[in-house]
Chains A and B, each alone.
Chain A
């Protein structure tokens, strides 16, 4: 029997919970269509201008009086986005391979100092970003490496490999080792077993780890802030720079587009997973 009061309370709580999580996002999405260029808190009327401006579709540079309200240059922002995507794709690839290989090695092979490795792999996740960022910066300066896209990629890989490792390790812990034995028993070499049995079994974990790594890489501000040079800037660092000179309406539009992209990626991930499992 349902208790009506309890049921109502549960419903109210759930609604409040989702409101708490999503309200800020909806506010941003709402304001991204507000045409007021000076004070975005005051609703003027609906417009697509900020999106058009971002994408370089509308030439509003003639409106000199509002000059300060606009993105410095659409080109700069797109360059930052391109850097972010490049960094994210490369780091996701590297950290997924590293994290997966490490998880398999630690779960399936016995060697000295196994426990120690395990501990060290958890560390980058628990360390505050700011400490990692400063540490990386000092390291790069010490070895005389110029800050560039390469240092961003290296910086991201140091902790993203750990994230992938944790997720793949959780998955591998749930896989019956007898599966690999059965494969070997039926004549498959270790390499064939890895390809035909272990990796397909791990696929949801690897995919999950890769998506997480991609999203975190796209999102990272603190560490990237320390290890990015003057040339290559990622989107979060670029936005952070914009905000320091005042919150501009374009930021809402950028944020909305990022939310949209995240939703698409998450949906893609879920769809792939639902296809994989039976």
Chain B
């Protein structure tokens, strides 16, 4: 994929009120392809907004370079960058009609009224707000405002659209509907999206690639499957989805299966490739990787959470150690207090080299 946006060694420091320095961006390298959907994911304060603001030009980098289509962005003020933003607060102009809000980019670019009106109608149509142009933003619902903000940001056909938690103010149903619509829109427009969210589920369902950030650094970049199945470290593993982490010592290797044992004595089967006896590693298993059966790790169900067709259970291993989180089918005999065995497929185990 041709690189649309290339960021290298981006650094931005803030002076904290206490007088210290805080690197909101601490050497960020990121490449975004044309028509790619990239999601920035990370805990609060990790620098997601700062990165978006640096791309749109509202934060000036202390260090590093940023190119869009090969053009150096460093010296360009925000209003000259071919990048548009959907703000978290929507930032709609309350004194203008919806139509004028949407047509604002064309208005300031000096596009004639007739052509502007046609494009505004088309953009409103695209976001499902046809005929609402005469209203004021104050007369719209949250979801409708969100769509106006979206229409306003795409009307000038930017190469890159930045979205800072655009869905966080919406309720769950509307949110899921908008997720779908955003994805469809991104495809039909053929532009790249950089999308910020706190919601890992949202990140997994929408993205071509996910960028996991922590404290101004990028921890891992990869496809949703990559990030979920092959996290690079404990932070990523724990941040994306529910995870069971087992620090184990490799006990013996037989064929293509290695046996690992935790300090408490819980035994796990790992893929043998690259394992050597006595080595300390961390085994990662997702709750859905376990199946309830007659063989495997013996334990007792301590709590159950009903999820509809599935049951989320906490199993205390007999050998001791932290509870294991497991997703079981409802009716699989995993009631509270029941004695169970947790089996798993060795190949589904992801191994982190560090213990």
Chain B residues whose C-beta falls within 8 Å of the C-beta of A184 in the assembled complex: 57-58, 77-79
Chain B residues whose C-beta falls within 8 Å of the C-beta of A189 in the assembled complex: 79, 108
Q: Which size bracket describes the interface of A in this complex?
A: 20 to 34
Across chains A and B, the number of contacting residue pairs, with CB separation under 8 Å, is 67
Near B by CB (< 8 A), chain A positions 211-243 give none
Chain B residues whose C-beta falls within 8 Å of the C-beta of A179 in the assembled complex: 91, 93
Contact indicator B77/A187 (Cβ below 8 Å): no
Determine the distance from Cα of A186 to Cα of B108 in the docked complex, in whole angstroms. 8
Chain A residues whose C-beta falls within 8 Å of the C-beta of B93 in the assembled complex: 179, 182-183, 197, 201
Most chain B Cβ neighbours within 10 Å, of A197, A203, A276, A278: A278
Does A63 belong to the interface (CB within 8 Å)? no
Determine the distance from Cα of A196 to Cα of B141 in the docked complex, in whole angstroms. 24
Contact indicator A278/B105 (Cβ below 8 Å): no
Contact indicator B85/A182 (Cβ below 8 Å): yes
Determine the distance from Cα of A68 to Cα of B156 in the docked complex, in whole angstroms. 76
Near B by CB (< 8 A), chain A positions 178-198 give 178-179, 181-189, 192, 196-197
Given the known A-B contacts A178-B89, A197-B93, are A186 and B58 also in contact in the complex, defined by CB atoms under 8 Å?
A: no
Q: Give the Cβ gap from B97 to chain A, nearest Cβ, in Å.
A: 10
Determine the distance from Cα of A110 to Cα of B78 in the docked complex, in whole angstroms. 18
Near B by CB (< 8 A), chain A positions 247-278 give 276, 278
Q: Give the Cβ gap from B234 to chain A, nearest Cβ, in Å.
A: 36
In this complex, what residue of B is CB-closest to A190? B79
Chain A residues whose C-beta falls within 8 Å of the C-beta of B78 in the assembled complex: 181, 184-185
Residue in B57, B87, B108, B152 whose beta carbon sits within 8 Å of that of A188 in the complex: B108
Chain B residues whose C-beta falls within 8 Å of the C-beta of A276 in the assembled complex: 95
Residue in A183, A197, A278 whose beta carbon sits within 8 Å of that of B139 in the complex: A278
Residue in A196, A200, A203 whose beta carbon sits within 8 Å of that of B108 in the complex: A196
Residue in B91, B92, B104, B153 whose beta carbon sits within 8 Å of that of A181 in the complex: B91
Chain A residues whose C-beta falls within 8 Å of the C-beta of B303 in the assembled complex: none
Near A by CB (< 8 A), chain B positions 68-97 give 77-80, 83-85, 87, 89, 91-95
Chain A residues whose C-beta falls within 8 Å of the C-beta of B58 in the assembled complex: 181, 184
Contact indicator A185/B94 (Cβ below 8 Å): no
Interface string of B142-165 (1 = CB under 8 A from A): 000000000011001000000000
Contact indicator B89/A200 (Cβ below 8 Å): no
Contact indicator A188/B79 (Cβ below 8 Å): yes
In this complex, what residue of A is CB-closest to B105? A186
Contact indicator A183/B104 (Cβ below 8 Å): yes
In this complex, what residue of A is CB-closest to B85? A185
Q: Give the Cβ gap from B351 to chain A, nearest Cβ, in Å.
A: 45
12 contacts between A and B (CB under 8 A): A176-B91, A181-B58, A181-B85, A183-B104, A185-B56, A185-B78, A185-B83, A187-B79, A187-B80, A188-B104, A201-B95, A278-B139
The residues of A with any CB-CB pair to B shorter than 8 Å are: 176, 178-179, 181-189, 192, 196-197, 200-201, 203, 276, 278
The residues of B with any CB-CB pair to A shorter than 8 Å are: 56-58, 77-80, 83-85, 87, 89, 91-95, 104-105, 107-109, 136, 138-139, 152-153, 156
Given contacts A179-B91, A181-B91, A184-B57, 7 further A-B contacts (CB under 8 A): A178-B91, A182-B93, A185-B79, A185-B85, A185-B153, A186-B108, A196-B108
